[in-house]
Structure 1
Amino acid sequence: MAVLNRLIMCRSAASLRNFCTESTEAGLRRASSALSSALPVENSKGKGRSVQWVFLGCPGVGKGTYAARLSSLLGVPHIATGDLVRQELSSRGPLSSQLADIVNQGKLISDEIIIDLLSKRLEDAQAKGETGFILDGFPRTVRQAEILEGVTDIDLVINLKLREEALIAKCLGRRICSECGGNYNVACIDIKSEDGRPRMYMPPLLPPPQCESKLITRSDDTEEVVKERLRVYNDMSRPVEEFYRSRGKLLEFDLPGGIPESWQKLLHALNLDDHDDKRTAAA
């Protein structure tokens, strides 16, 4: 608890800046200890299925969409590090300007910052008595995977895959309602079959009428930044796939199309196609 209390106290402006810019092994060890202390305890009430899953995949592949649906289906929290970063950005706290520069350039955020944000979210989960989790966006590097492995036992890693041309189109088509925060996509992706690959059709996910005039585009969803994010992912995060593949925990899943088609096939791959609540989660 001393380590956890120290981490909470470090959230003052000067101390937090020092903690998050430190790149030594000592800094990572402290972050790892804080992460371990913040992991949620088992739910004594027996609610939900206590899974500890990770979603991998390129930016824009749909990790958040499918992780959120599985979270609802299984009754465990969905923890997306991308959302944690965006919340920190909107908070105008001491980290917001530093994070804005990193995100707008399509670069990876340091291990210390991500682990600090994740530790804080898991502290909240523990306080609420939540059990298990589905991580989305973490780990992104082998170092992060090693830290996570050192503090908890991940059950399964789901690696979502999608053709690059579809990924870019999806990212450029993303829209957010500035009023309700709903996520939509105006891109209609229709890739003809060629070289033995089947046709891929992904219809747009259009907003309801009340949101149409309030749609905004994320500042980092430009073609230049999207391509840079994909390059960074290929260079630095693909080794994470091999890390979990070598441990027999990686499930490769090629998205065949839009949500209705992909969701049912993903449930089948996870042996969840007979789950009583699957229709509710897919709504």
Structure 2
Amino acid sequence: MAALIRYSKSSAVSSLSSTSLLRRCFSSTVSSELASPSTASPSPFTLNHNLPRKDPKDRNVQWVFLGCPGVGKGTYASRLCNLLGIPHIATGDLVREELASSTPLSRQLSDIVNQGKLVSDEIIINLLSKRLQAGEAKGESGFILDGFPRTIRQAEILEEVIDIDMVVNLKLREDVLLEKCLGRRICGQCGKNFNIASINVKGENGNPGMSMPPLLPPTHCMTKLITRADDTEAVVKERLRVYYEKSQPVEEFYRSRGKLMEFNLPGGISESWPKLLQVLNLDDFEEKLSAAA
């Protein structure tokens, strides 16, 4: 832990060491793609909406999921990871795991998260590096990154060490986002996420109507629901403001490289999930889709 504290205080040295660690982790996982331009295998996808149909087990996916806090990155990324048989690496989960520990870093993170601020690049890169090392030891191949990169600097570091195939940018109107975030609940016993918000927005001013039913827990979890400390209206609004200010430029970073696929969520999971599979050309894998649902 002392190394983490020194790392946060000395960004020049720590950024270099973390970049090296990221490079080593990524290189071990995807060495066949990065060996050299002449030996690297072509990406299994063209970076547009007409992706070739290919069995999920044959896809070497290296994707990033972008989107505002609460948009559903974790939900859709985890479903796709189940479908494709690859790990879902969510930096938000890494932060929450660290928060659950009793360390000086966990207390520092608690102050940052409860104020709706972004966790520093140094801390995020350090947590991600540890996660990649653990995955490398287990023989993981491919991934979907959820919550990273959040800044241009993080995107540049990531670009130095690996060629991301595609960046999926999930979009949802802000008023629905706010209502959705305020409805989030966690079971204090099993740790699963639910949502008690029943959203039914009428179409107006050129915006289509939208309906999102609640994701209610089973009976045995109903009395154990808790609200995340950072899911208050003031904190959620601050997180959205910070996202638009600091993270949205990452969209332009990947758009300029031809890697950004924007997906406007038309409604809840039952409506959005099949349409997302369609644009990814995964909608014909019915058996695997049933397993992932």
Q: TM-score, length-normalised on structure 2?
A: 0.89
Residue type matched to 1:27 in 2?
S
Q: What's 1:30 paired with?
A: 17
The verdict on how the C-alpha distance between 1:261 and 1:47 changes in structure 2, with shifts beyond 3 A counting, is closer
Partner of 1:147: 157
Q: Percent identity between the aligned chains?
A: 67
Distance in 1 of aligned mates of 2:225 and 2:239: 23
Structure 1 residue 260 and structure 2 residue 262: aligned? no
Q: Which whole-Å CA distance do the structure 1 matches of 2:265 and 2:249 have between them?
A: 21
Contact kept in structure 1, 2:57 and 2:84, CA below 8 Å: no
Structure 1 counterpart SS, 2:253 = helix
Instruction: Check if 1:20 corresponds to 2:33.
Output: no
Q: Which residue of 1 aligns with 2:37?
A: none
Look up the match of 2:29. Answer: 41
Q: Which runs of 5+ in 1 are unaligned?
A: 1-12
Equivalent residue of 1:54, what SS?
Answer: strand
Report the residue type matching 1:213 in the other structure.
T
How do 1:41-120 and structure 2 match up within 5 A? 41-42=29-30, 49-120=59-130
* 8 Å Cα contact 1:43/1:131 also seen in 2: no
The residue identity in structure 2 corresponding to 1:278 is: L
TM-score, normalisation: structure 1: 0.92
* 1:159-195 Cα distance to aligned partner (Å, 9 max, x none): 0000101100011000000001110000011110112
CA deviations over 1:86-137 (Å, ceiling 9, x no partner): 0000011231000000000111111110000000000011000010110000
* CA positional deviation for 1:35: 0.7
Residues 160 and 255 of structure 1 are in contact (CA less than 8 Å); yes or no, is this contact kept in structure 2? yes
SS in 2 for 1:247: coil
Match 2:187 to one of 177, 190, 202 = 177
Equivalent residue, structure 2, for 1:211: 221
Name the CA distance, whole Å, in 2 between partners of 1:111 and 1:43. 25
Runs of 5+ in structure 2 lacking a partner? Answer: 33-55
On the 8 A contact 1:139/1:148 being kept in 2, the answer is yes
Alignment check: 8 A CA contact 1:43 1:130 kept: no
More displaced 10-residue stretch of structure 1: 26-35 or 95-104: 26-35
Q: Report the equivalent of 2:46.
A: none
Q: Deviations over 1:133-163 (max 9, x none)?
A: 1000000000000000000010000000001
Moved more, 196-205 or 233-242: 196-205
Mapped to 1, the partners of 2:285 and 2:241 lie a distance apart of 38
Partner of 1:278: 289
Number of residue pairs aligned between Structure 1 and Structure 2: 268
Contact map agreement 1:54 1:134 (CA 8 A) in 2: yes
State the Cα distance separating 1:220 from its structure 2 match: 0.4
Letter in 2 for 1:220: D
User: How far does the alpha carbon of each residue in 1:4-36 deviate from its partner, in whole angstroms, 9 at most, with x for none?
Assistant: xxxxxxxxx322211123222x32121111111
What amino acid sits opposite 2:189 in the alignment? E
- The answer to whether the 8 Å contact 2:25/2:133 transfers is yes
**After TM superposition, where is structure 1 displaced by more than 4 Å over at least 4 residues in a row?**
none
